[in-house]
């Protein structure tokens, strides 16, 4: 499909393959569930799944059951773990998708058991995050009830943890997770997988690799500078850019965009057709963009579909690339920089931007994954 609006987000699939290879190397023999929820963290769920699986992941984990059909239609037949995201009355439809569903409470357990289908299921336990999962104190009862559901096979037990930077908090949650898994064993289950390690934990705490891992944001280059292996993680979002559709000179004595007082000296503006409908913020601070190899400040409030840039003293012209994230010439604006200016988390920003701007992909090569895994 061709797009007439000159605005794109460029995804570096070689970088994703490299990062997956890094996680594959660090995780060793643990089953590798590549997390592709949130439309593959904004880069596109099919592209994310294909790249991760080709680069060394064993399976994928996702949160939206409606994405499963897109993956199957794309010819992706890898094992899929579906995180808790559906209502009990939809259990039969979920069971028909060919995924491993999550059982996170008694209602979901009863609903999947009532389908009569033979299903491999994962049980989620809450070890301190306080979100989804069977709470401490209910684990023995939950696994006993699962043992009575003859059509359901326990494929694994997993949890998500908080404060992954805090060794004490992580050790406490890891200890509780072991208690939960012991409850499963006590109910007669054996051979099930255990999964706790997400992005940062995989890289820093090998004792929590257990049988399976499920990294997410780290694979997409959203790790923090203080993470282990931070210097090896590559940004997957290569560029977010538009093109200038107007350059206008504002003479002295006229009013510049966003101001109410007449100008003392002339200024020049450029308009780029990307706005807050593309996921950027409306109110200042709005940061900078790169035009003609120069950093230029964004002016005043961003429109719903337009951003006005001050290009005074810059040799700007209609059609010039305007880089919001990425490099042009000797200048670079990083995703982390933009996210900090806007006051949002990098994965949130890209998930917002990628919903509107057409994606362009730099193709992944098998060499990138092999190099990272060596």
Q: Which residues are tagged catalytic?
A: 37, 257
Q: Provide CB contacts within 8 A for 263, sequence distance 6+.
A: 250, 251, 252, 253, 254, 255, 256
Report the alpha-carbon distance of residue 167 to residue 170 in Å, rounded: 5
Partnered with residue 98 across adjacent β-strands are none
Residue 129 C-alpha from the chain's centroid: 19
The answer to whether residues 60 and 53 touch, using CB atoms and an 8 Å cutoff, is yes
Nearest CA to 155 among 127, 194, 183, 110?
194
Q: Which residue has the tokens 């939950």?
A: 142
Q: What is the CA radius of gyration of the chain?
A: 24
The 10 Å Cβ neighbour count of residue 304 is 9
Token pair recorded at residue 86: 């559906």
Token pair recorded at residue 272: 């780029």
The sign of the CA dihedral 211, 212, 218, 224 is negative
Report the alpha-carbon distance of residue 167 to residue 32 in Å, rounded: 23
Report the alpha-carbon distance of residue 301 to residue 276 in Å, rounded: 9
Backbone angles phi, psi at 255, to 5 degrees: -100, 130
- Angle in degrees, CA 40, 44, 45, rounded to 5: 55
Tell me how far CA of residue 86 lies from CA of 101, 105, 167, 188, in angstroms.
Answer: 10, 12, 33, 28
Helix 139-148 vs helix 106-114: angle between axes, to the nearest 10 degrees?
Answer: 0
Do you know the residue count of the chain?
374
Provide the CB-side half-sphere exposure for 36 (13 A, CA): 33
At 237 the three-state DSSP class reads strand
């Amino acid at each position: 499909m061709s797009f007439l609006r000159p605005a794109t987000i460029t995804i570096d699939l070689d970088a994703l393959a490299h990062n997956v290879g890094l996680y594959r190397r660090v995780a060793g023999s643990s089953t590798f569930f590549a997390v592709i929820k949130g439309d593959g963290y904004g880069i596109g769920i099919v592209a994310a799944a294909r790249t991760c699986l080709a680069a060394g992941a064993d399976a994928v984990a996702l949160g939206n059951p409606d994405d499963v059909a897109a993956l199957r239609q794309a010819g992706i037949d890898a094992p899929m773990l579906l995180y808790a995201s559906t209502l009990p009355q939809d259990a039969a439809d979920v069971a028909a998708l060919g995924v491993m569903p999550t059982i996170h409470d008694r209602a979901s357990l009863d609903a999947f058991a009532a389908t009569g289908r033979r299903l491999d299921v994962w049980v989620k336990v809450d070890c301190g995050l306080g979100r989804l999962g069977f709470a401490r104190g209910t684990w023995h009862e939950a696994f006993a009830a699962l043992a009575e559901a003859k059509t359901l096979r326990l494929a694994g037990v997993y949890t998500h943890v908080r404060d992954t930077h805090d060794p004490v908090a992580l050790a406490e949650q890891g200890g509780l997770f072991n208690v939960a898994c012991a409850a499963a064993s006590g109910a007669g289950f054996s051979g099930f997988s255990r999964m706790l390690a997400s992005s940062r934990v995989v890289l820093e705490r090998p004792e929590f690799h257990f049988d399976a891992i499920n990294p997410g944001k780290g694979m997409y280059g959203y790790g923090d500078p203080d993470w282990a292996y931070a210097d090896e993680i590559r940004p997957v979002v290569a560029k977010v850019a538009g093109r200038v559709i107007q350059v206008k000179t504002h003479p002295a004595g006229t009013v510049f965009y966003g101001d109410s007082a007449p100008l003392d000296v002339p200024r020049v503006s450029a308009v780029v057709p990307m706005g807050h409908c593309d996921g950027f913020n409306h109110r200042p601070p709005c940061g900078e963009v790169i035009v003609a190899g120069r950093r230029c400040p964004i002016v005043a409030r961003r429109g719903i579909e337009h951003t006005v840039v001050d290009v005074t003293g810059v040799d700007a012209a209609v059609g010039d690339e305007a880089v919001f994230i990425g490099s042009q010439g000797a200048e670079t604006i990083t995703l982390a920089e933009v996210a900090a200016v806007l006051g949002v988390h990098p994965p949130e920003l890209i998930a917002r931007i990628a919903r509107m701007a057409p994606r362009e992909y730099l193709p992944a090569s098998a060499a990138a994954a092999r190099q990272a895994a060596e």
